[in-house]
Structure 1
Amino acid sequence: MLSYTGGLVLLAALLHASWNAMLHGNRDRFLSMTWMSIAIATVSSFVVLFTPWPAGAAWPYIVVSGLLHIVYNMTLVRAYRRSDLAQAYPIARGSSPLLVTLGAALFAHEAIGPLHALGVAMISGGIIAIALQGGRVSRAGALAALTTGATIALYTVIDGIGVRVSEGRSLTYTAWMFLFYWLMPLLFVAKRGLAALWRPVRAAPMAVGSSLAGGLVSIAAYGIVIWAMQSGAMGAVSALRETSVVFAVLIGRVFLREAVSAKRWLACVIVAAGAVCLGV
């Protein structure tokens, strides 16, 4: 992977961790995710007005990925209700590279070498350590986080294949896929009502503002990843992005005042090292 591309994916990793911290830091994560989605969908609606139509072959991938992203949003909210950032985030993000690597091998014929196999083993070991240490992650919490990781892997492989058949239109592909985020406010209103969506604009403008900012950070982060997967191996790009688990623990410790034990630090380092092995 070119150093320029690798640097951008590392930036995406930091952005991923940052918007997850913004989401986790808000008390009502469903509401926060909805406002993030509004920001993402609004930007995407603007972009599609000034970009070419997606290539015909890319449409099935856009639709399936867009719907999977909504599932991902809901599973992520559920995971953060059950465990703190330094637990849920490494499990969710750390499990996805090995699944992406396997999916890419099956569906895009990307080879898995010895170093990749070592990376898979290190990531798996790190995830188990994070999930089991101290008994502080419930079975339901670990399952929710792993479900999130599986969803991440699914949409990453789909987007990796989809952007490659998009005739070089990664921006167009990304924008049309993110248009599906308009479904999030519809789901929120259906469950809680329109007043519950708009009331925080006056009652808690800072929380809404941070959610909108998180949405902008999110679309930039994943846009970089989709762009990188045009030419880089999906497993490698995904793995390099998942070094964000280290950023997440740092953010959780410094800004959210979450306790981080020495064992959790070590486990996250193992996950990150495994991701680096996959990214080589």
Structure 2
Amino acid sequence: MSAWLISLEGTEAGRHFALGLALMAAFLHALFGALQKGRHDPWISRAAIDASYGIIAAPFALFVVPWPEPHMWPIFAGAFVIHVGYKVSQAMTYQRGAYAVVYPVVRGTGPFFAVFGAGLIFGEQFTTGQWAGVATLMAGIFGLALYNLRTITVDRDTMGPALFWAVVTGMFVAAYTTYDAYGIRATADPFTFLAWFFFIDGIFMPVYTWRRWRHLPSSEIVPLMKRGVAGAFAAYFSFGAILLATRLDKVGEAAVLRETSTVFAALIAWLMLGDRVGPRRLTLMALIAAGAVIVKLTG
């Protein structure tokens, strides 16, 4: 599998495969966010997810994939620090704000900074048409957030801090997108990076939130563990897909395409959380999709 993926790097087939991976990551990331924002404390929900994917990844990291090269350990340390910042800011966001409002702000902030990061680190350059696509996508995303903000009736008293933390989270999204793309390109086998990343990344949140578990009713433990396992597999395929896409194609394009997750998030909020999807929302969702198409077609 690794040899086949590596053979696709820099090819037309690789670019098409990267497109599919980025769109798959978009859908699964929206599902991942909904799982964390569900009925449980978002700190504990994230801890359950992280513990699940860390435990599942351990045997693959230790016994299946090739061991990381020596230069990879400082890279893993940097990734650990960035993702800790991302998780803390994300939990602060979800603890304070309605999912339908804060999720679009997080995802709308991320691609703008990620494109700049890709330019600085990888020398990628967006065309004028692609920047127009980014602007279109971000207009749709922030428009969706504003529309949801006008219509929600919950969490309004904490929405100011929630939006602040949503922007901070978006900046961490951009940071880990570019940094992890650098990491997965720095090792010979991409699955080495993925297995060891999930193994190491699964440590922090379960340890950090252990006191919160003492206040969890025993009747909630099994449902939370089920949510954790479901979130773990969503994380594997979402985060794994976007990282493989950044190895096969441009980091900036993959980052922008992933933010169509906002469209999927709106649909999930409608189907799972009871939100309404009217003509205004549909128009804004179409704008997001159009921006992603423009970025791809004008690249």
Partner of 1:26: 39
**Matched residues, number:** 275
| Cα shift at 1:35 | 0.4
Indicate if the aligned counterparts of 1:157 and 1:234 stay in contact, CA closer than 8 A: yes
Aligned equivalents of 1:16, 1:161: Cα separation in 2: 21
Aligned equivalents of 2:161, 2:131: Cα separation in 1: 28
Aligned equivalents of 2:162, 2:283: Cα separation in 1: 21
Q: Which sections of structure 2, spanning at least 5 residues, go unmatched?
A: 1-13
Deviations 1:30-58 (A, max 9, x none): 11111000011112212111211223333
* Alignment CA distance shift 1:139-1:273 (3 Å): farther
Structure 2 counterpart of 1:139, one-letter code: G
Partner of residue 244 from structure 2, selected from 227, 249, 256: 227
Deviations 1:142-163 (A, max 9, x none): 2211111110100010011111
Write the mapping of 1:31-180 to structure 2, written as runs, cut at 5 A.
31-49=44-62, 50-133=64-147, 135=150, 138-167=159-188, 169-178=189-198, 179-180=200-201
For structure 1, which segment, 73-82 or 217-226, has the greater mean C-alpha deviation from structure 2 after superposition?
Answer: 73-82
3-state SS in 2 of match to 1:53: coil
* Alignment CA distance shift 1:87-1:203 (3 Å): closer
3-state SS in 2 of match to 1:56: coil
User: Runs (4+) of structure 1 moved beyond 4 Å?
Assistant: 134-137, 199-202
* Alignment CA distance shift 1:142-1:276 (3 Å): farther
Aligned equivalents of 2:230, 2:168: Cα separation in 1: 26
* Alignment CA distance shift 1:200-1:55 (3 Å): farther
Partner of 2:23: 10
Structure 2 counterpart of 1:48, one-letter code: A
Structure 2 counterpart of 1:152, one-letter code: V
Structure 1 counterpart of 2:56, one-letter code: V
3-state SS in 1 of match to 2:247: coil
Q: Which sections of structure 1, spanning at least 5 residues, go unmatched?
A: none
Aligned equivalents of 1:36, 1:166: Cα separation in 2: 26
Aligned equivalents of 1:44, 1:258: Cα separation in 2: 35
3-state SS in 1 of match to 2:67: coil
Residue 187, structure 1, aligned to residue 200, structure 2: no
| Cα shift at 1:200 | 5.0
Instruction: State the percentage of identical aligned residues.
Output: 29
Aligned equivalents of 2:71, 2:245: Cα separation in 1: 19
Indicate if the aligned counterparts of 1:115 and 1:277 stay in contact, CA closer than 8 A: yes
| Cα shift at 1:19 | 1.5
- Taking structure 1 as the reference length, what is the TM-score of the superposition? 0.89
Indicate if the aligned counterparts of 1:79 and 1:145 stay in contact, CA closer than 8 A: yes
* Alignment CA distance shift 1:35-1:200 (3 Å): farther
| Cα shift at 1:99 | 1.2
Aligned equivalents of 2:228, 2:174: Cα separation in 1: 24
For structure 1, which segment, 85-94 or 52-61, has the greater mean C-alpha deviation from structure 2 after superposition?
Answer: 52-61
Aligned equivalents of 1:59, 1:272: Cα separation in 2: 38
Indicate if the aligned counterparts of 2:104 and 2:142 stay in contact, CA closer than 8 A: no
Partner of 1:250: 267
